[in-house]
Amino acid sequence: MSLVKKFATVGGATLGSRIFGFARETLMAAALGTGPMADVFYAAFRFPNLFRRLFAEGAFNAAFVPLFAKEIEANGTDGAKRFSEEVFGVLFSVLLLITIVMELCMPLLVRFVIAPGFADDAEKFDITIRMAAVMFPYLMCMSLTAMMSGMLNSLHHFFAAAVAPVFLNVVMIGALFYALYTGAEPLATAWYLSWGVLAAGVLQLAVVYVGVLHAGMSIGFRFPKMTPNVKRLLILAVPAAVTGGITQINQLIGQAIASSREGAIAALQYADRIYQLPLGVVGVAVGVVLLPELARALKGGALREAAFLQNRSIEFVMFLTIPAGFALWILSDEIIRVLYERGAFHEQNTAIVGSILAIYGIGLPAFVLIKALQPGFYAREDTKTPMRFSAIAVATNCATALTLFPYMGAPGIAVAEATAGWISTVLLFSTLLRRGHLTWEWALARRTALLIVASAVMGVAIIYLKQHWASSLASGAPLLTKVATLGLLIVISMIVYFATAFLIGGADLGMIRRNLNRKPAPAKDA
């Protein structure tokens, strides 16, 4: 299967999840707006999400996948099965301990980490503690899910792992439909969502477990034991956990700062959901597929193939995310108005969330490039270097957010996150280049510059059409008219971008062929 086809498999499933996510956030906006219960729910949900990234996706996609691939190459499926069972026993035990400790410490965590700004409001503070306690076991389910997803990706079974997140959105949409249908109060709605998160975690774990069985591998529980393989995993996983959760760490910092101003947490979350579409469809797909591909190429000594895979992934990312970033920047208000502006979500909310989304658009290429660059380190079992860069990014994010929030509010936090993303991208790229793990291609640099030009041409077209169709995109226009106009505007902008990109040489059929071919050469490197 070609690299792009693998990207499409994961990206397509992720797209389905993100579409359901849009539906979920639209219902959330209608039911809760940017009111206090929206802040409470998102604050409580952010914490298990952070630990899911730290202990699951970050650590096990970065550390587990290369070691699992190595076991497959060296000892076949039997060795890989033994290794996965050893890891499962340790992971389950550690997660159980973490869950118990965190549940007992939840009041302190909410006061000092999750939402310090809630401490002055006794009701919000108490509800946040209880909802976080309900949702925290989601961490355990999702961490085990992430481990099994890593197994599936290494075995080239991408779909089950990619489609599992859909079930979280489906369960939460069901809870929101029920709340809106019964006219539930915001507090009751938030509770329905909290219990829905826990139920969805169990369901997602079941889905990937069935996928592992279908892939021909079962997992039995082994008593936790520090085998050499497990020790090696932990050495790699600790820095990878920090690096893999960098976005969530930055968002948690932003949330803690934003908790002092009502509505800021929810506003950041609504904008975050929009830019998660291209980030998920492109960034997650590239990261998920590229890591096991790079790991196998390097273990087999195919250094040229590894460099080829890395460059083609960057090419693929730039081709799609540069225009997406321009579009989010220019169409931010219109997108927010169409998706969210109804019910408890008012025109004033659109202006704030739209400004945040525009800033995220500027940071989008960096957020996605990070996903394409980090595997270049992880596949070589180097997790410490990205961790050091993550520490720099976190420090930059924290300092910038604290500086800008008093003057700009929630958009200041978005500026901090985008700045940290670009700094991290530059550090990752330059280090891979300096070490010789990334091959500089002048042709790729030239195409990237031309893609920026094509995106700028598209941006001019969007601004022109937006001005002429302003009445059809205004707050008072019928919803169907706004949806149709925005949809037509997006379609035209895509046509303008692709036509310009191919016309001026930013993209060509050769580029498409390069991305459709998995291997540049069959030979191994000495």
Q: What angle do CA 348, 354, 359 make, to 5 degrees?
A: 140
Amino acid at 355: S
Tens of pLDDT, residues 187-198: 999 999 999 999
Percent of the chain at pLDDT exceeding 70:
85
Predicted local confidence at residue 344, as pLDDT:
76
Predicted local confidence at residue 287, as pLDDT:
58
Tell me which of 223-237, 322-336, 454-468 is least confident. Answer: 223-237
Give burial (CB, 10 Å; 0-12/13-18/19+) of 259: buried
d(CA 365, CA 334): 21
Tell me which of 51-55, 369-373, 455-459 is least confident. Answer: 51-55
- Per the rule left: phi > 0, alpha: psi between -120 and 50, beta: everything else, 156 is left
Q: What angle do CA 368, 369, 374 make, to 5 degrees?
A: 110
* CA-to-CA separations, 371 to 43, 109, 148, in angstroms, rounded: 25, 29, 20
d(CA 292, CA 128): 39
Tens of pLDDT, residues 103-133: 999 999 888 878 888 888 888 899 999 999 9
Which of 155-164, 169-178, 212-221, 238-247 holds the top average pLDDT?
A: 169-178
Q: What angle do CA 35, 136, 14 make, to 5 degrees?
A: 80
In the chain, where the domains are located:
3-516
In this structure, are residues 274 and 47 in contact, taking their beta carbons and an 8 Å threshold? no
Question: 518: pLDDT confidence band, cut at 50, 70 and 90?
Answer: very low
CB atoms within 10 A of CB 373: 27
d(CA 379, CA 358): 34
Tens of pLDDT, residues 211-262: 888 887 877 777 788 888 788 877 777 776 666 666 667 777 887 888 888 8
pLDDT of 205 > 50? The answer is yes
